[in-house]
Amino acid sequence: MIGAFRDAMHGAGLTPPERIEPDGALHRFHVEGDRSGSANGWYLLHLDGRAAGAFGSWKTGAWSKWSADSGRESNADREAFAALIAAARARAQAKRRAEHEARAVDARGEWARTVAPDHAHPYLIAKGVKAHNLRQLG
């Protein structure tokens, strides 16, 4: 299945990365011809249930969907797969929400440790600016 996914990427003009992770997560990779160090290519691949994925380039905006045995499944299979996708999206959204909340808790803790700024701070004096609504840590 990974080989067929890789072939589809080649067919769309993208050289896939050496290793493709079929974990359903978004992965970035370097696209040949793009600036060195860039990671404008992306893919995600699921192998649970019916193998399916997508890939593309953020630089060009081109993208493609891919699935194994596309068009040969019954309506029941399509509905089951749609339910599987909906469940995966819900899990991913819940994970993102939990990560965002954890970061918000960290940010609130950091903010709580700040104090009103020292208006005579050497940086403010050197720049000739006032401490409008700033907070200072330490």
- 3-state DSSP call for residue 119? coil
Contact (Cβ atoms closer than 8 angstroms) between residue 131 and residue 114: no
Question: What is the phi-psi region of residue 116: left when phi exceeds 0, alpha when psi lies from -120 to 50, beta otherwise?
Answer: beta
Spatial distance between the Cα atoms of 4 and 12, rounded to a whole number of angstroms: 12
Q: What is the SS3 assignment for 18-62?
A: CCCCCECCCEEECCCCCCCCCCCEEEEEECCCCCEEEEEECCCCC
Residue range 104-119, pLDDT digits in tens: 999 999 999 999 999 9
Where exactly are the structural domains of the chain? 1-70, 73-138
Residue range 13-70, pLDDT digits in tens: 999 999 999 988 899 999 988 899 899 999 999 887 778 899 999 999 999 999 887 5
Total-model pTM: 0.60
Laid out side by side, the sheet with 63-67 consists of: 27-29, 41-46, 52-57, 63-67
Looking at residue 33, its pLDDT comes to 87
Spatial distance between the Cα atoms of 10 and 24, rounded to a whole number of angstroms: 20
